Amino acid sequence: MAYPLSPATLEWQRKARDYAERELIPYEEHAELNEGLLPPEVAARHKALALELGLSRLDAPVEHGGLGLPKLDQVVIWEQLGRVTNALCWAVSEAHDWMFQACTPGQLERYVRPMMDGRRCECYAITEAQAGSDPGAIATTARPEGDHYVVNGEKWFVTSANKADFVFLQAVVPRGTGEAEHALFFVDIDAPGVEMVDNPRFGHTFSSHHPTYRFTGVRIPAANRIGRPGDGMSYTRSWFRRERLMIAARCCGAAARLIEMGAEFAKARVVSGRPIADYQLIQAMLADSLAELWGARLMTYEAAAMQDRGEDLSVVHTHCSMAKLTASEMANRVADRVVQIFGGRGYMRSNAAQRFYRELRVDRIWEGTSEIQRLIVARSLLKRGVDGLIG
């Protein structure tokens, strides 16, 4: 018994699994021991294969050269890619469907299409030293000046900025009236006034870093503003929604691999004359893990399917938060248990369980911490009631 998926979705699942198992997983240990880096020819092959598979275009509309896949198919694909450690599945940038609603033809040509064919890479700069969980508190400004905006501020944790050509930057636009509004901008990373001021090390070994960037008097053309005045943070919310769903998917994939590894090891490892799989304390860890994975996976698939059915976006938004919350917390518990099942071997960096144990931790933090997901769910519950959210 498995979740009923169409033959087309199952074919995507097979292709993504094949790419993960044959191309990416064999290089995890190399990446772990080399600051996340792969030999250049291997990295180039991974990128070429990812482009050939269409991973940069899954969500882009067909009329713009994308694959326009249902969200359920995308979740199934990202679940398989989540089986890989060291972020080796981040071989290409991905264009999202909201970009085609938000961006002008010129922006699509200059920034979004080059992401789809692997020519340009993006990063997202929202978080600041004093604005993480509350992006409404950001202090970076984009002050209108003729046909330009002038950007000043500092952004933290800008994932993949070390590989990026441009930044999706969230800033506050002060108005003459003394009011202000939030807006999203394209900023070229090599524009004068853009500088990396810190590059901290984090708990995982990824070639994508999370540096701090300072923007000092950066002049960007007015044409680089994304969306219309008044759109505020709506496109940032679209981005959050998609990322939360795909994080949930990746967490499910990671948990599935962890459980498989834990079960295999438990059957083979003999302690006090018996395989540890015979011991009920070990069985309980495996059983809890599988049951929790199944619950998280169903939630994740359903959040995607709701979007495909065109259900109310506010309700979908809540479901994406529930899926991210449930799946990321679940995957962390699973990683902890599987490390435990491996005993001392679970503490070795050569063991994928050890790497997942470190890597999955951030899934409870980025794209909104678990606490923030709970607040989103609770606010929606108090507004819509149980029936309004889950029938």
Ligand X SMILES: Cc1cc2nc3c(=O)[nH]c(=O)nc-3n(C[C@H](O)[C@H](O)[C@H](O)COP(=O)(O)OP(=O)(O)OC[C@H]3O[C@@H](n4cnc5c(N)ncnc54)[C@H](O)[C@@H]3O)c2cc1C
Which residues are at the interface with ligand X (CB under 6 A)? 124-127, 132-133, 157-159, 202, 210, 362, 365-369, 371-372, 375
Q: Least distance from C-beta 116 to ligand X, angstroms?
A: 20
Q: Least distance to ligand X from the beta carbon of 160, Å?
A: 7
Query: Can you name the residues that pair with 198 across neighbouring β-strands?
Result: 212
H or E segment and range at residue 202: none
Q: How is residue 348 written in tokens?
A: 């070795």
**β-bridge pairing 180-188 and 148-155:** unpaired
Find the shortest distance in angstroms from Cβ 131 to ligand X: 7
Residue 358: which H helix or E strand, with range? helix 352-359
| Distance from C-alpha of 304 to C-alpha of 314, rounded to nearest angstrom | 13
Separation between Cα atoms, residue 30 and residue 23, nearest integer Å: 13
Q: Which is nearer to ligand X, 83 or 244 (CB)?
A: 244
Nearer to ligand X, 14 or 379 (CB): 379
Rounded CA separation 287/285 (Å): 6
Listed in sequence order, the residues at least 6 apart from 48 whose beta carbon sits closer than 8 Å to its beta carbon are none
Task: Tell me the residue ranges of DSSP E strands in the chain.
Answer: 122-125, 141-145, 148-155, 166-174, 180-188, 194-198, 212-221, 225-226, 270-271, 274-275
State the nearest-atom distance from the C-beta of 163 to ligand X, in Å.
Answer: 12
The minimum distance between CB 168 and ligand X, in angstroms, equals 9
Nearer to ligand X, 132 or 262 (CB): 132
Q: Using H for helix, E for strand and C for coil, what is the string for 211-258? A: CEEEEEEEEEEHHHEECCCCCCCHHHHHHHHHHHHHHHHHHHHHHHHH
Q: Which is nearer to ligand X, 297 or 364 (CB)?
A: 364
CA 253/CA 369 separation, integer angstroms? 20
Q: Find the shortest distance in angstroms from Cβ 105 to ligand X.
A: 27
> For residues 28 and 367, which CB has a smaller minimum distance to ligand X in the complex?
367
- State the residue number with the nearest CB to ligand X: 132
Nearer to ligand X, 97 or 122 (CB): 122
Taking the complex as a whole, how short is the minimal distance between the CB of residue 122 and ligand X, in angstroms? 10
Tell me how crowded residue 43 is: count the other CB atoms within 10 A of its CB. Answer: 16
Looking at beta carbons only, is 127 or 351 nearer to ligand X? 127
CB of 249 to ligand X, least distance (A): 18
202: left (phi over 0), alpha (psi -120 to 50) or beta: beta
By C-beta, is 76 or 161 nearer to ligand X? 161
The set of residues, in sequence order, having a beta carbon less than 8 Å from that of 383 and lying 6+ positions away, is none
In the complex, what is the shortest distance from the CB of residue 201 to ligand X, in angstroms, rounded to a whole number? 10
Smaller CB separation from ligand X, 9 or 93: 93
